[in-house]
């Protein structure tokens, strides 16, 4: 496979513009004979498909269901097998933390420990979010720093929180403390490499202090940590692809992922209409836009076929705003499929369409799974989408003499 | 490519069941306008195709004709470029030897050597199998062990035999003694790595003793050894994929390949009808079945188009036994193509169909080469079939956060 080093050596700065429209989890499975995309009335998406080259893209590899991290990295042109985003980092991005390079973050659970130190409930009976907020505030008040390392505790929903350690030189290569099963004691934070020994010691001290703070707060009398991690060292899109990229998204996690690869995050409103308005407003300032629609995925996760169809139709109604800007390249796809039937992410490839006057337009007339399978791009890997977008925007020079 | 380490980390044990039906060498080329699959009357296979997602799968890589080893490893989910099965091992499996981890085996030829020690016939005039049996018995009687290494000599057909050395610590990384051309002396067994020096010395002593035993048995007065090898260190399917796998096959080589990856070999009769009966009988005991049909390949190798068609039709008649069991996932394919037109294995991709309620059913209505090309899976690598089967049996968790 062509790697980023090669793409970097070929990419050139030009005035052409690329818009990548991502409907999160848009791909589906048929219910009563139609997928969500097939059921939706989408005249603008279909008209765009008619003048695009289409295909289906595996986010990672056939059969592999991606999380949001690998799903987006692939579309952004980064091999998702090469850049791993830890669970802690993803959770932190999800609540809008702006992570520094050396920050170490973890996903935390409040849990219940018995008198012998055995975990009897890994989720502390799923305490209400209000209790969680209260306990996080207490932990934050009592543990502001450990041996010069600044500590931040931020609540999530129910028993979940995000824990951050801030100081230059920290190393997140440390095993989970969560034993994954009840009936076992929490594990000691164990460094996976010698460089992480000091950080593991800090985390161990945190757990000890948290246990003292929480001792009278049964069932939430201890914490379990998972996905201890740091943001991966990842080259920026401007470095690799010579792009000035911007992100339009409403959910923190996607803004966070975009920030990881060096996109500028544009202020936008909560609605799909706002996102398209934001694209129009800033259109002159950047040459690559990632426009992310969240609710296709949310309704897919809920198993709500009808609502997922409605979101697709809403995107379709606003598509003319994008079309009128007439970018050199428009790509439309998902980061992974979220069939309502499965109520979760799936392994099925994403429909993908690429509209450019320099592509070989096929005879696909509809933006949907089965139609795109018959398109001119056939089946591809998501990581190849960026080179294709760059090429059809005439932003890639010739490889080799 | 997603490697096995990743699949291992994602695979989960569930109650869902997978059946992989392999018609060896089933893919073909058109003769009088039809391939063997197109010519065969296969109502059940076609009905299954109509409710499956179809595609064509390259066993190793486009243009590469695989032997039975790589052909099967790919389907079983093992990268055939990573795990090499030596010729000696394959021959040993083919005659039903159950190999131990440290056994070293070689494919042997009886050959004719002149008085100057030059090979004048690499196949000893293709001596009859009866003569071969007699000479193997003689060698076995005279050479039972060499310096504490147990020796086994088992005849094959005509001039071919299998030679096995048994003792802990042996190393099979040794060059062939067969010079590959007449007019040259046999080569000395040369170790490819220092660890194989002792084994090479044992093999050298074997050849010297064999030459003495055979000196009055012209034209079979010496032996040539090829494919000196050991079974590769290969993780089991239960380790990698969390499966309890079983093999139903009539030929020793396929049972041997299945045993290599940790399948349990089920007793079955000689006929295709027996194999399907065995599937039904043991259906409750395992969650993955590999059902292997040999004769499609045998007739392909013979160039017997009509007989190959008949075998396909026979499989089709018994298919309802499998269909009635209603496994969560059914996959049907070949390990490689064996077009009657070519009388041998070929590089053409295998038609592949995957039936699961969680796949995107395409509009392919026939299980045949050209029909499957237009299927929803497009063109894939055989090594991706296992992740797809596991995914559509809901046996793979999400990759990455």
Residue with tokens 């012209």: B218
Instruction: Choose among A56, A64, A69: nearest Cβ to B401.
Output: A69
**Is residue A400 included in any domain, yes or no?**
no
The band of A401, judged by pLDDT with boundaries at 50, 70 and 90, is confident
Whether residue A382 contacts residue A60, with contact meaning beta carbons closer than 8 Å, is answered with yes
The verdict on residue A397 lying in a domain is no
Main-chain phi, psi angles of B175, to 5 degrees: -70, 160
Verify that A134 and A204 share a domain, yes or no: yes
Q: Using one digit for the tens of pLDDT, what is the confidence trace for B180-206?
A: 999 999 999 999 999 999 999 999 999
| CA pair distance B318, B337, nearest whole angstrom | 22
The mean pLDDT value for A341-358 works out to 98
B229, B245, B273 - which closes a domain: B229
Mutant choice from A26, A27, A34, A62 vs B, greatest count of B C-beta within 10 A: A62
Task: Note whether residue A399 is domain-resident.
Answer: no
Rounded to the nearest angstrom, the minimum Cα separation between A301 and chain B is 14
Q: Which residues of B touch A370 (CB under 8 A)?
A: 360, 362-363, 376
In order, the DSSP letters of B198-254 are: HHHHHHHHHHHHHHHHHTTSTTS-EEEEEEEE-------HHHHH---EEEE-SSHHH
Nearest CA in chain B to A80: B400
Mean pLDDT over the full length of chain A: 96
Q: Give residue A1's pLDDT.
A: 65
Give the pLDDT score at A3: 83
Average pLDDT over residues B11-34: 98
Q: Tokens for B163?
A: 């030679």
Rounded to the nearest angstrom, the minimum Cα separation between B1 and chain A is 7
Q: Does B398 reside within a domain?
A: no
- A63, A345, A380, A384, best to mutate vs chain B, most B CBs in 10 Å: A63
Closest-CA residue of chain A to B387 = A63
Over residues B133-153, the mean pLDDT reads 97
Instruction: For residue B72, give the nearest of B230, B233, B249 by alpha carbon.
Output: B249
Pair (B198, B247) in one structural domain: no
Q: Which chain B residues are closer than 8 Å to A61 by Cβ? A: 1-2, 384, 387
B396–A contact, CB cutoff 8 A:
yes
Position B400 in a domain: no
B85 pLDDT more than 80:
yes
CATH number, domain with residue B343: 3.40.720.10
In chain B, how many domains are there? 2
Mean pLDDT for the stretch of residues B58-76: 96
**What's the CA gap between B291 and B22, in Å, rounded?**
6
**Is the model's pLDDT at B1 over the cut of 70?**
no
Domain of residue A115, CATH code: 3.30.70
User: Is the model's pLDDT at B258 over the cut of 80?
Assistant: yes
Residue range of the domain that includes B39: 4-83+235-392
Proportion of chain A above pLDDT 90, given as a percent: 96
pLDDT band at A4 (very low <50, low <70, confident <90, very high): confident
CB A315 within 8 A of CB A300: no
Is residue B97, in this structure, part of any structural domain at all? yes
Do A221 and A306 lie in a common domain? no
For chain A, positions 177-196, list CB contacts with chain B under 8 A: none
Band (B3; pLDDT cuts 50, 70, 90): confident
Single residue among A229, A256, A273 that ends a domain in this structure: A229
Statement to judge: residues B276 and B373 lie in one domain? yes
Residue B5 above 90 pLDDT?
A: no
Mean predicted confidence (pLDDT) in B260-276: 96
Residue A2 has pLDDT above 80, yes or no: no
Nearest chain A residue to B376, by CA: A373
Final residue in a domain of this structure, among B208, B229, B250: B229
Q: Are residues B201 and B78 in the same domain?
A: no
Residues B110 and B195 in one domain: yes
Nearest to A75 by CA among A389, A322, A371: A389
pLDDT of B20 above 80: yes
Which residues from A are below 8 Å from B4, CB to CB? none
Task: Say how far apart CA B364 and CA B385 lie, in whole Å.
Answer: 18
Q: Does A234 touch chain B (CB under 8 A)?
A: no
Which pLDDT belongs to residue B2? 74
* Contacts A348 to B, Cβ<8 Å: 359-360
Residue by residue, DSSP assigns A238-296 as HHHH---EEEE-SSHHHHHHHHHTTPEEPP--SSHHHHHHHHHHHGGG-SEEEEEE-HH
Per-residue pLDDT reduced to its tens digit, A286-331: 999 999 999 999 999 999 999 999 999 999 999 999 999 999 999 9
Contact assignment for A63 to B397 by CB distance below 8 Å: no
Tell me if A398 is assigned to some domain: no
Q: Does A65 touch chain B (CB under 8 A)?
A: yes
Task: Using a CB–CB cutoff of 8 Å, tell me whether B358 touches chain A.
Answer: yes
CA dihedral over A340, A343, A347, A353, signed as positive or negative? positive
**DSSP, res A66:** B
Which chain B residues are within 8 Å of A62, Cβ to Cβ?
Answer: 377, 380, 384, 387-388
Q: Are residues A141 and A265 in the same domain?
A: no
Does some domain include residue A343? yes
One domain for residues A8 and A119 = no
pLDDT over threshold 80, residue B309: yes
CA-closest candidate to residue A177, choices A95, A113, A82, A102: A113
Q: B138 and B221, same structural domain?
A: yes
B369 and B252 belong to one structural domain: yes
Whether B10 contacts chain A with CB within 8 A: yes
B391/chain A closest Cα distance in angstroms = 5
> How confident is the model over A229-242, as pLDDT tens digits?
999 999 999 999 99
Q: What is the ipTM of this complex?
A: 0.90
Same domain? B292 vs B374: yes
A176 and A66 inside one domain: no
Cα–Cα distance, B211 to B177 (Å, whole number): 13
B364, pLDDT greater than 90: yes
Averaged pLDDT, A70-87: 94
Read off the pLDDT of each residue in B131-156 and give the average, rounded to a whole number.
97
- Cβ distance B374 to A374 less than 8 Å, yes or no, reads yes
Is B62 at the interface with chain A, CB within 8 A?
A: no
The model carries a pTM of 0.92
Within 13 Å of residue B111, how many CA atoms lie on the same side as its CB? 28
């Amino acid at each position: 496979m062509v790697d980023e080093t090669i793409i970097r050596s070929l990419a050139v700065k030009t005035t052409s513009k690329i818009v990548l429209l991502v409907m999160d989890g848009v791909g589906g499975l048929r219910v009563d004979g139609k997928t969500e995309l097939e059921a939706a009335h989408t005249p603008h998406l279909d008209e765009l498909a008619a003048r695009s080259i289409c295909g289906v893209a595996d986010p990672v590899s056939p059969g592999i269901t991606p999380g949001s991290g690998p799903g987006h990295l692939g579309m952004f042109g980064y091999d998702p097998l090469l850049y791993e985003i830890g669970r802690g980092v993803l959770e932190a991005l999800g609540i809008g933390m702006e992570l520094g390079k050396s920050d170490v973050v973890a996903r935390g659970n409040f849990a219940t420990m018995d008198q012998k130190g055995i975990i009897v409930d890994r989720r502390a009976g799923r305490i209400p979010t209000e209790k969680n907020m209260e306990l996080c505030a207490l932990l934050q008040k009592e543990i502001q720093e450990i041996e010069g390392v600044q500590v931040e505790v931020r609540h999530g929903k129910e028993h979940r929180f995000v824990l951050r350690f801030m100081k230059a030189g920290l190393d997140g290569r440390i095993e989970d403390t969560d034993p994954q099963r009840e009936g076992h004691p929490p594990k000691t934070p164990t460094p996976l490499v010698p460089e992480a020994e000091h950080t593991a010691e800090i985390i161990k001290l945190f757990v000890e202090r948290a246990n003292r703070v929480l001792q009278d707060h049964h069932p939430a009398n201890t914490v379990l940590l998972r996905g201890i991690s740091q943001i991966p060292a990842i080259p920026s899109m401007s470095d690799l692809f010579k792009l000035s990229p911007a992100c339009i998204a409403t959910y923190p996690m996607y803004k966070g992922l975009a920030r990881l690869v060096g996109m500028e995050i544009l202020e936008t409103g909560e609605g799909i209409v706002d996102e398209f308005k934001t694209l129009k407003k800033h259109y002159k300032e950047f040459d690559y836009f990632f426009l992310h629609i969240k609710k296709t995925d949310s309704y897919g996760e809920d198993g709500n076929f009808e609502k997922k169809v409605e979101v697709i139709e809403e995107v379709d109604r606003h598509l003319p705003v994008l079309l009128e800007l007439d970018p050199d390249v428009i790509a439309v796809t998902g980061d992974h499929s979220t069939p309502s039937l499965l109520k979760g992410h799936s392994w099925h490839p994403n429909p993908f369409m690429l509209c450019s006057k320099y592509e070989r337009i096929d005879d696909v007339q509809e933006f949907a799974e089965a139609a795109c399978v018959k398109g001119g791009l056939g089946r591809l890997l998501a990581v190849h989408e960026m080179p294709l977008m760059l090429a059809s925007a005439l932003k890639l020079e010739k490889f080799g003499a």
